[in-house]
Chain A
Amino acid sequence: MIKILQVNNLKKYFSIEKIFSEKEKIVKAVDGVSFSIKKGQIAAIVGESGSGKTTLARCIAGIEIPDEGEIFFEGKLLDFSTKEKRRKIQYIFQDTYGSLNPRIKTGDILAEPIRYHFNLSGEKLKEKVKEFLKKVGLNENFIKNYPHELSGGQRQRIVIARALTMEPKLLIADEPVSNLDVSVQAQILQLFLELNLKDKITILIITHDLRIVYNLADYVIVMKDGKIIESGKTDTIFLNPKSDYTKNLLCSIPNSPYKNQK
């Protein structure tokens, strides 16, 4: 399979300035990370909070600018200079409520990127919006609702639909189900799986929940303190974890079978 994304030695540091001290504290959020994702895969980045997984994902989505390193997307150096290139990588934020403009109705939230990227308007635009609502399993009446009138699961679907309107090749989802009930979690994960199978969208999921990874991902990247500890096929990592860190993560799953092995 072809590599859709290749990351070489990526670095992103943040400096924290304290008000009353001259010293600058540097946080190495992403510290020399290299990996690649194949086209059509569902990949997962796992790690504890603060391990740099969100920063890494944001660098790929172009929301943060990396300090060092290269990102190749579809064989070319990543750039977002045209709107055509921009729309191919879409990012789903962890905080769905915060990532929706509270003053705009759902229908307009979905219509805006379609209008801008595909120059549709009028009836065609409306049809397209309804089509995407259907795709994420929402009734078309939802176009009249404001974000605050929706439930967590519905908001998550809207955010996914918004990302899909741009017909991305790579979809990055930051903790897509961490704020949801378990039953809703399963539905959303099912939706990701469908998108991957039917629409052939490559998906990169960032999560700390290894159960999701096990059920969904083909490929796992384990991160700690901005570095990749190990990476490989899901089965390989789960059956034969090499590093202690990964073993610890696996043990932290409730009712984990790994606990006995330790």
Chain B
Amino acid sequence: MRNYIIKRLLLLVPILFGITLITFSIIHLTPGGFTTVNLQMDIRTSPDSIARLKSLYGLDEPLYIQYLKWLKRFIFFDFGNSFLDGRPVLIKVAERLPATLLLNISALILEFFIGIILGVTSALKRNSFYDKSITVITFMGYSMPSFWLALILMFIFGVKLNLLPISGLKSVNFDFLNTGEKIIDILKHLLLPVFITAFGGLAYISRYVKNSMIETINQQFIKASYAKGMPENIIIYKHALKNSLLPVITLLGLSLPGLIGGSFIFETIFAWPGMGRLAYEAAVNFDYPVIMGVVTMAAFLTLLGNLLADISYALIDPRIRYK
């Protein structure tokens, strides 16, 4: 098992290398560029000053040199400085990450918690009215555009009922509140975005859990448990649930990269100071270092998430052993 993990971690290196190479090529192949957006539209700019600007940012060198330079810094975890404001990429990300993490982790916990409960209960009451209503409700959440739902809920709870703040992470008077009020203030701001994010993902998880649960409770060892006379809650929650959690682990592993990549539309609607907006702003302005930084971090987390999922398979199911 330890050898397997080491092998997988070593494999991350070439994969990550490939991802950065492809990303770097694609963003530089895109028509336009950092200098185009900022200067070329302006007829007063002389070709001379464009060339000077290019050489200032190192954009006049051949692409492979630029890439190698980027790679050299990347090895020491230096993602460079943003073209837009000259601040280090890592600091820009670090500023935006907490808001996105707070939102996504709360949503993920809520989503999995409710999703597993809904999945298990509807597997036990299969084809009942309860099961069918859960299916309808979760699929409504899945198919409803989140920005639309966000606007509707903001209108109802924020404008009409005036119960919840409609946007941002903190109130204007945040700095004047005591600790307890600060927590409540943040929770209030979190409520709507977390609910909407979680609502959209419920269908996924509850479906997976339900199907996997149905498959498990039809297996012989569950019938054998009934024949042993074991009480139902032991059978369901000890024998069946543990065996049906494998797909949940996969989902959990796959949602790990999603934790840092915020949704741009969503963050814009809620004026949420997160990663989604950072990535969007960087892409629109050809801010190469920021794009590369965000993509590389997301890629790394995706790979890590897959690895963690694979490792937890083996922890959960003793039949799976890696070599």
Report Cα–Cα, A110/B223, bound state, in Å. Answer: 16
User: Is A62 part of the contact surface with B, judged by Cβ < 8 Å?
Assistant: yes
| Contact A103 to B219, CB < 8 A, known contacts A91-B227, A113-B230 | no
Q: Are A103 and B226 in contact (CB under 8 A)?
A: no
Report Cα–Cα, A119/B225, bound state, in Å. Answer: 17
Residues of A within 8 A of B44 (CB): none
Residues of B within 8 A of A116 (CB): 228-231, 234
Residue of A with least CB distance to B321: A148
In the assembled complex, the CB of A125 is this many whole angstroms from the nearest CB of chain B, namely: 16
Q: Are A99 and B229 in contact (CB under 8 A)?
A: no
In the assembled complex, the CB of B320 is this many whole angstroms from the nearest CB of chain A, namely: 10
Q: Are B243 and A101 in contact (CB under 8 A)?
A: yes
- Those of A31-74 within 8 Å (CB) of chain B: 61-63
Q: Are A61 and B229 in contact (CB under 8 A)?
A: no
Residues of B within 8 A of A162 (CB): 224, 228
Residues of B within 8 A of A117 (CB): 229
Q: Are A86 and B229 in contact (CB under 8 A)?
A: yes
| Contact A146 to B229, CB < 8 A, known contacts A98-B221, A101-B221, A101-B243 | no
B contact residues, range = 20 to 34
Q: Which stretch of B93-101, B249-257, B311-319 is in the interface?
A: B311-319
Report Cα–Cα, A113/B226, bound state, in Å. Answer: 11
Q: Are B319 and A61 in contact (CB under 8 A)?
A: no
In the assembled complex, the CB of A69 is this many whole angstroms from the nearest CB of chain B, namely: 20
Residues of A within 8 A of B317 (CB): 102-103
Partner of A83, one of B223, B225, B229: B229
Residues of B within 8 A of A112 (CB): 228, 230
User: Is B242 part of the contact surface with A, judged by Cβ < 8 Å?
Assistant: yes
- Those of A78-132 within 8 Å (CB) of chain B: 80, 83, 86-87, 90-91, 93, 95, 98-104, 112-113, 116-117
User: Is A237 part of the contact surface with B, judged by Cβ < 8 Å?
Assistant: no
User: Is A7 part of the contact surface with B, judged by Cβ < 8 Å?
Assistant: no
Nearest 7 A/B pairs, CB to CB: A86-B229, A98-B220, A99-B220, A99-B224, A146-B318, A101-B221, A91-B227
